[in-house]
Amino acid sequence: MSERDGGTGGAPARVLRAYLAHLAVERGSSPNTLRSYATDLHRYRDHLKACGIGDLAAVRESDITAFLVALRSGPTPLAASSVARALAAVRGLHRFAARDGLVPCDVTRAVTPPSLPRRLPRTLTVEQVEQLLSGCHGDGPVALRDRALLELLYSTGARISEAVGVDLDDLDLAERTVLLRGKGGKQRIVPVGRPAVAAVEAYRVRARPVLAERGRGTPALLLNARGARFSRQSAWHALRAAAEVAGLDAEVSPHTLRHCFATHLLAGGADVRVVQELLGHASVTTTQVYTHVTVDSLREVYATAHPRARG
Residues with catalytic annotation? 159, 183, 255, 258, 281, 290
Length of the chain: 311
Alpha-helical runs (H) found in the chain: 12-25, 31-50, 61-73, 80-99, 126-133, 141-156, 160-164, 194-206, 208-212, 232-245, 256-267, 272-279, 284-287, 289-305
CA–CA dist 37, 34 (Å, integer): 5
DSSP label at residue 79: P
- CA atoms 73, 74, 78, 83: torsion sign: negative
Cα distance between residue 155 and residue 147, in whole Å: 12
Distance CA 118, CA 135 (A): 32
Radius of gyration for the alpha carbons in the chain, expressed in angstroms and rounded: 24
Residues contacting residue 165 through CB under 8 Å, at least 6 positions apart: 180, 181, 220
Contact 230, 145 (CB under 8 A): yes
